[in-house]
Structure 1
């Protein structure tokens, strides 16, 4: 623990900020990562709680919301707060239209770690090092992009990269991020539907950010990854309507693949595709089913939906074209285009990653589900969400196979962020939300799944991270429950789980090299979103 404490103090935090809590079972040596489990943290009204980590693991903060940005700009002053109110409500404060009792939390989201040389910040005479963590921010206006300078001191720790596009438009709220080594650009996604899409930009201060949604489409985009052929894989989070009396959401989100004309310049355009799954019952595509007199519950309770959430069931898949365009194209509705092309909708599949060392032939993605313990789709019809595996002969292949690796349940639900920890183990995190936290009496957790395990036979994933609730989130939870227009989220959420060695070359694409955590430069980060908005690095304890 001494090395962790030294690094925390150097970053401007107190040694008391370090958390390395006891666990139920220990990590073990062996082929790949084998972490034990800790109990979930109960949700208790008005009570804060620290995070719990599996034995042998520790965490320390690399940035937190109240850290002042070294080059503030207007409303953007802090890593995790806009400048439209105090950081905590004052005694006697009353939320009302036009008056925030608390500053809007910017919610730093997905993390992208890179090792780069020659980057600059606001201080021309300062050496910012060569290890950096990039984030888009999910909440508030304008949206913004930050770079956490991991080698820097507290005064130079967080650099603002951009709040506007090259044509002067405010950035949207961002949810996903990745690095494209072919285009040498950071890619950011926004799940804002008609205002969502994909933006690309540089890594240095004053980054020029370009909206490329004219070729990639508008949609509820969140997860984004680049494969070895230079294609982009995008996972959409577009919540569907809830049929009356079901508590369940319609499958309404798609998995996309963009095949660029020039992988070194995505803005030149070309073909957006969506994943189509073929019914084992009819041999026809499984398509979007809306709510009408003939289908009062839409596609929620169909046999195909049930089959897709049944262990051991394997489906044929193919990619269908939803749009083709070039630099002169206008932005288009990708979700509507996917429906028209008879692509297959899922129940909020938020993020996806390639299995490392598998030649980009295996893609795993999460499905968040309904985040409602009262959903009548829970269990057989995917209400609890899960994790899917798509296999193909090649990343650019037209056909593949789809099966479910893990079908969620009440204790493992709202699955959102995902990152491979080594060749065979993938970390998935919950975003269950305040309502489901209250329903089940537990806060969010992160789990380790073994891709070679048959979870249909009753095996359980290891809970290596049990998220607590920091004091700010505890306060926010009470304000959120009270309503009155309070604009911030309540309980903490686990986001941005990210394992990388920071290699910015094509050979460093996530999915090429099997990670070796804590060895060979491999690092693990996650963000405790909401509340204090702390971004952590997980290390050995």
Structure 2
């Protein structure tokens, strides 16, 4: 039996329960594509819990933490998919266990007939990038190391966000750390999906800060979403807004090393004056924060330039100086299909505390509407306002033109406060913007035995409860026509595939299949 099976999971392909999902309902023929169904409730934060998904969905493990890398960097402990063994520790459930690397966001690409899933790794003594070969049936041969060094041969920072840039033919990865450590790195791939040099190249013109979400648009711009918690507000159990939404406009979209202009989103008050960092720092209970989290409200926006050129700089500080508007830990963003990249949705995590008394404490999903992806102005409104039961919003993906998948990363403290582990939701974007949208739960995440161990006896350098991350829906098209948001997903046509990563614990990455889809009956896990 594998360590994964010993951790409380049974079988290789898990069929899950919930409300009914009609096979083939995600036809893509219209804006109405059915529903994922409804899982009644989140799992409680007690013991080991299994994942629960809507009926009609199955999940199959495509990789897990203890899988060896086919080309390890043994000298630096980069030897397994989900563990760095530089400290010589065992792989799981030991007082001196190895470092968990936390594979994070997913990028699915089909390159010369090869089906690959790429990920950055978020924690541990050094960062690295891996590739899962989805065509490989032998798990021991499935995961390879793409890069763990920069152009000078030095260790990489740990990575959170990732996207594929078809203009420059590279994976773009974000390091979520305050300047000067955070920023964006690029790894160029050849036509077969192999790294051309094995090195990640720093792209300082895109700024340094706690960058997480990263996404291209059809014009070649790079959109960035920052996640840095602000200063604590005394007596409020919450924090000041401190993170920004950016757009990088390159001089040459095929070569990001040539630099360009980094812009940050600025929100205007009703009187036309900007909402700035200095204002919200002085008054973190400013009425405008409440208004931003009120259904039916709409705010004018503009992009302000915070830096232009190729030199390294502090993006967070530059955005504050330029008068951009900070949010309460925005994390990820994606364009809505069928809008010609005119609607950008991004998540805001909030304070991740059930006892916060600040406005906007539970975050939101915001919608930015523009006439084009390069437009200078637009409007911002809340698409979904969080509450204590639905908060910690993190990764985001479209399953259809109207179906927005949003997953939680609430953290151990909030899990304990509400006695509920994380969930994944589908938001139906149809209907009036003046009231809450229909939201159903398609995933109640469980907790594996390794995560339970880390949550109760961890040695201090590994996380606790499992976290949902990396929700990703793509047909793998590596061309400009395949940028997320350019096409409407069709989850049963055999080409669109859905992935998510159950971070922490055993670090399992799953493929989710819809009943009637080609991948629903295939088991690529190799487990027995």
Structure 2-normalised TM-score?
Answer: 0.90
Residue in structure 1 matched with residue 223 of structure 2 by the alignment: 233
Correspondence for 1:289 among 255, 261, 278: 278
Number of residue pairs matched? 493
| 1:419 partnered with 2:358 | no
Correspondence for 1:157 among 126, 137, 142: 142
- Give matches, 1:148-297, under 5 Å: 148-152=132-136, 153-194=138-179, 195-203=181-189, 204-205=194-195, 207-280=197-270, 282-289=271-278
Alpha carbons 1:136, 1:176 under 8 Å: kept? yes
Residue in structure 2 matched with residue 366 of structure 1 by the alignment: 347
Q: Alpha-carbon deviation of 1:155?
A: 2.5
Correspondence for 2:377 among 399, 402, 411: 399
Alpha carbons 2:176, 2:182 under 8 Å: kept? yes
Alpha carbons 2:160, 2:176 under 8 Å: kept? yes
| 2: CA distance, partners of 1:438 / 1:276 | 36
Residue in structure 1 matched with residue 526 of structure 2 by the alignment: none
Q: Alpha-carbon deviation of 1:167?
A: 1.1
For the structure 1 residues 230 and 339, does the alpha-carbon distance in structure 2 shift closer, same or farther, using more than 3 Å as the test?
Answer: same
| 1: CA distance, partners of 2:431 / 2:422 | 23
For the structure 1 residues 310 and 44, does the alpha-carbon distance in structure 2 shift closer, same or farther, using more than 3 Å as the test?
Answer: closer
For the structure 1 residues 319 and 457, does the alpha-carbon distance in structure 2 shift closer, same or farther, using more than 3 Å as the test?
Answer: closer
Q: Alpha-carbon deviation of 1:232?
A: 0.3
Deviates most, 149-158 or 22-31: 22-31
Q: Alpha-carbon deviation of 1:33?
A: 3.8
Residue in structure 2 matched with residue 499 of structure 1 by the alignment: 473
| 1: CA distance, partners of 2:339 / 2:367 | 13
| 2: CA distance, partners of 1:317 / 1:272 | 16
| 2: CA distance, partners of 1:343 / 1:242 | 21
Residue in structure 2 matched with residue 121 of structure 1 by the alignment: none
Deviations 1:37-69 (A, max 9, x none): 113333344x10110011110100000001111
Residue in structure 2 matched with residue 23 of structure 1 by the alignment: 18
For the structure 1 residues 533 and 456, does the alpha-carbon distance in structure 2 shift closer, same or farther, using more than 3 Å as the test?
Answer: farther
Residue in structure 2 matched with residue 345 of structure 1 by the alignment: 326
Q: Alpha-carbon deviation of 1:456?
A: 5.2
Residue in structure 1 matched with residue 503 of structure 2 by the alignment: 529
Residue in structure 1 matched with residue 111 of structure 2 by the alignment: 116
For the structure 1 residues 231 and 459, does the alpha-carbon distance in structure 2 shift closer, same or farther, using more than 3 Å as the test?
Answer: closer
Residue in structure 2 matched with residue 451 of structure 1 by the alignment: 429
Alpha carbons 1:113, 1:501 under 8 Å: kept? yes
3-state SS of paired residue (1:469): coil
| 1:540 partnered with 2:514 | yes
Alpha carbons 1:33, 1:422 under 8 Å: kept? no
For the structure 1 residues 134 and 307, does the alpha-carbon distance in structure 2 shift closer, same or farther, using more than 3 Å as the test?
Answer: same
Q: Alpha-carbon deviation of 1:207?
A: 4.1
Deviations 1:272-302 (A, max 9, x none): 000000011x320000037xxxx8x734210
Residue in structure 2 matched with residue 144 of structure 1 by the alignment: 128
3-state SS of paired residue (2:455): helix
| 2: CA distance, partners of 1:363 / 1:493 | 24
| 2: CA distance, partners of 1:26 / 1:346 | 36
Residue in structure 2 matched with residue 98 of structure 1 by the alignment: none
| 1: CA distance, partners of 2:471 / 2:432 | 24
Alpha carbons 2:173, 2:185 under 8 Å: kept? yes
Alpha carbons 1:33, 1:421 under 8 Å: kept? no
Deviations 1:208-234 (A, max 9, x none): 434434211101000001100000000
3-state SS of paired residue (1:435): helix
| 2: CA distance, partners of 1:27 / 1:492 | 29
For the structure 1 residues 66 and 15, does the alpha-carbon distance in structure 2 shift closer, same or farther, using more than 3 Å as the test?
Answer: same
3-state SS of paired residue (1:306): helix
Alpha carbons 2:106, 2:472 under 8 Å: kept? yes
Correspondence for 2:92 among 88, 94, 103: 88
Q: Which runs of 5+ in 2 are unaligned?
A: 27-31, 516-528
| 2: CA distance, partners of 1:51 / 1:15 | 11
- Give matches, 1:1-40, under 5 Å: 16-27=11-22, 29=25, 31-40=32-41
Correspondence for 1:76 among 34, 58, 78: 78
Alpha carbons 2:429, 2:437 under 8 Å: kept? no
3-state SS of paired residue (1:256): strand
Deviations 1:393-443 (A, max 9, x none): 011100000000000011110000000111111100000000000000000
Residue in structure 1 matched with residue 301 of structure 2 by the alignment: 317
Q: Which has the higher contact order (CA 8 A, sep 6+)?
A: 2
| 2: CA distance, partners of 1:89 / 1:212 | 36
Deviations 1:507-529 (A, max 9, x none): 11111110111314000000000
| 2: CA distance, partners of 1:53 / 1:207 | 40
Deviations 1:84-137 (A, max 9, x none): 2112334xx4xxxxxxx21110000000000012xxxxxxxxxxx600000000
Q: Which runs of 5+ in 1 are unaligned?
A: 1-7, 94-100, 118-128
For the structure 1 residues 206 and 470, does the alpha-carbon distance in structure 2 shift closer, same or farther, using more than 3 Å as the test?
Answer: farther
CA RMSD, 1 decimal: 1.9
